[in-house]
Amino acid sequence: MNAYTTTEWLRLLDLKAAIEALNEKMVDLSYFRFRVPYIEQAVKAGRYQEKENWQEIARLLEVRKGYEQELEELEFSRRKGRLEFIRFYRFSLPIPAILAVKKGCDKMKIYENCVAALSSEKPLMEEISLVTVTWEMSRQPTEEQTYLSLEEIEIELEEIGRYATCSTYCGSVISIAGVIV
């Protein structure tokens, strides 16, 4: 699942080449051959904006941002999931939920964020295994009132594992009140 198709590989190379070409063009347009980080800062600060070549540089930066986002999405789609960084928790009170929480993140904070109003009851929680999560996901309906196949569950868990490799990710709600979200 991680290997790029030929089309994806060619697109990856095209995006990297296009970004490099845009960087070179921006350096050339900056008169004094400024480095790209300075160019980005200058455009962000609004310096030189009255000059025509800097207006073109600003436009090229926007184009490059789009290419970088597409490149990031392509690379992310092929990133291997890392479930060893994830712990699964089942909450039973006040509202039943199953959460995937990245190691080092606060499971109670994630639960509080998914439950609008916590009552004065202390949440009952237990850590559960990947097998239990898979079993629970196969038994609970989705929001569309359908049930996930084992292949679909595997894809969902792989996606959670991919997010676990992101530095900003802390956790996900798998199900709440008996419904897969």
pLDDT tens-digit readout, 103-141: 999 998 888 887 765 566 777 889 999 999 999 999 999
Once rounded to an integer, what is the mean pLDDT over residues 81-88?
A: 86
Alpha-carbon distance of 124 to 51, in angstroms, equals: 63
Alpha-carbon distance of 130 to 164, in angstroms, equals: 15
Alpha-carbon distance of 76 to 55, in angstroms, equals: 32
Tell me, yes or no, if the pTM score tops 0.75: no
Alpha-carbon distance of 48 to 157, in angstroms, equals: 48
Residue 117, pLDDT score: 58
Question: How far from 58 is each of 72, 130, 152, CA to CA, in Å?
Answer: 21, 48, 43
**154-163 pLDDT per residue, tens:** 889 988 988 8
Q: Sheet holding 124-128: strands in order across? A: 124-128, 86-93, 97-102, 171-176, 179-180
**140-150 pLDDT per residue, tens:** 999 998 999 98
